[in-house]
Amino acid sequence: MGRSQTTHLDFQFTSMTEWLQQQTPVLQALLAGIFTWALTALGAAVVFGLTNVPRKLFDAMLGFAGGVMLAASYWSLLAPSIEAAAEQGWPSWLPAAVGFLIGGAFLYGLDRGLPHLHRGMPTESAEGPKTAWQRSVLLIAAITLHNIPEGLAVGVAFGSASAGIESATLSGATALAIGIGLQNLPEGIAVAVPLRGEGMSRMKSWLIAQASAIVEPIAAVLGAAIVVYAAPVLPFALSFAAGAMVYVVVEELIPETHQEGNEDLATLCLMLGFTVMMILDVSLG
């Protein structure tokens, strides 16, 4: 990429950031959530051309997504949480630790309390309370569990950017939304194509995959509103979102990528995703 092209991209990003600065944090979060949902839908649209995804590619995509989420958990959430805690007079580590653990416990509770079915598993292996829900509903529930913390993270990031915390900037929140969106592209593929492989129609596979991400703009608005209208909870909200995302990566994504002997590939892709998100956050934030 030439210097002129790089300058043009920098100008576009700056212009977008300036426009976002004129919006309320809640609207910013809503727009960012819609963006991440749209990229899930775009990735899922691949199902109209493909009937299956090689397992290695599937595990590589999930590994990349996990890396993005892990990096975002620190640079976009935990680091600002620690700074916000110090500014509010807390021991800098306390809100980060408490919120992080509560976020993980919250996802654990959802995991145990909401009937859901992980991709590729038989219906009788559904987790949570016994239910008569259809297989497609159980699949949506499982994927939604994954997307809730992503939406919360985006919303909390935009909400905290308005709080004047040095490490929580609008550019950083935008970088987080871009990072989540990037990992949603392969995630949409990884959801829709296996559903097609299980016998669902292309349209139904796409509808389920994109519907699973509709929760992201909803959670983003909720996260931003909590931070904006209840400022004292800011450091806890940031670390809560981080804990929820780490729980998803460790409990769901990593084990799923290790089922077919692709551990090394998935780990390398996780490191790549981590690096990409780190670069986005540090360079744009």
On whether residue 18 sits in a domain, the answer given is no
Q: What is the predicted pLDDT for the residue at 285?
A: 62
What's the structural domain count of the chain? 1
On whether residue 7 sits in a domain, the answer given is no
Q: What is the predicted pLDDT for the residue at 13?
A: 57
Q: Which domain holds residue 192?
A: 25-284
Q: What is the predicted pLDDT for the residue at 167?
A: 67
55: tokens are 């397992």
DSSP notation for the chain: --HHHHHHHHHHHHHHHHHHHTS-HHHHHHHHHHHHHHHHHHHHGGGGT-S---HHHHHHHHHHHHHHHHHHIIIIIIHHHHHHHHHTTS-TTHHHHHHHHHHHHHHHHHHHHS-B--TT--GGG-BSS-----HHHHHHHHHHHHHHHHHHHHHHHHHHHTTT-TT--HHHHHHHHHHHHHHHHHHHHHHHHHHHHTT--HHHHHHHHHHTTTHHHHHHHHHHHHHHH-GGGHHHHHHHHHHHHHHHIIIIIHHHHTTTS-HHHHHHHHHHHHHHHHHHHHHH-
On whether residue 167 sits in a domain, the answer given is yes
Q: What is the predicted pLDDT for the residue at 173?
A: 86
On whether residue 5 sits in a domain, the answer given is no
Q: What is the predicted pLDDT for the residue at 275?
A: 95
Q: What is the predicted pLDDT for the residue at 12?
A: 61
Q: What is the predicted pLDDT for the residue at 5?
A: 56
On whether residue 1 sits in a domain, the answer given is no
Q: What is the predicted pLDDT for the residue at 220?
A: 95
Q: What is the predicted pLDDT for the residue at 30?
A: 96
On whether residue 9 sits in a domain, the answer given is no
On whether residue 156 sits in a domain, the answer given is yes
Report the Cα 262 to chain-centroid distance in Å: 23
**pLDDT tens, position by position, for the chain (285 residues)?**
555 555 555 556 567 667 767 888 999 999 999 999 999 999 999 999 877 778 888 889 889 989 988 998 998 899 989 998 988 889 999 999 999 999 999 999 988 888 877 666 667 777 778 877 777 677 777 777 878 889 999 999 998 888 766 667 787 888 889 888 888 887 788 778 877 877 888 998 899 889 889 999 999 999 999 888 888 898 999 999 999 999 989 988 898 888 888 999 999 999 999 999 899 888 876
272: tokens are 């790549």
On whether residue 275 sits in a domain, the answer given is yes
Q: Is 164 left (phi over 0), alpha (psi -120 to 50) or beta?
A: left
Q: What is the predicted pLDDT for the residue at 6?
A: 55
Q: What is the predicted pLDDT for the residue at 54?
A: 83
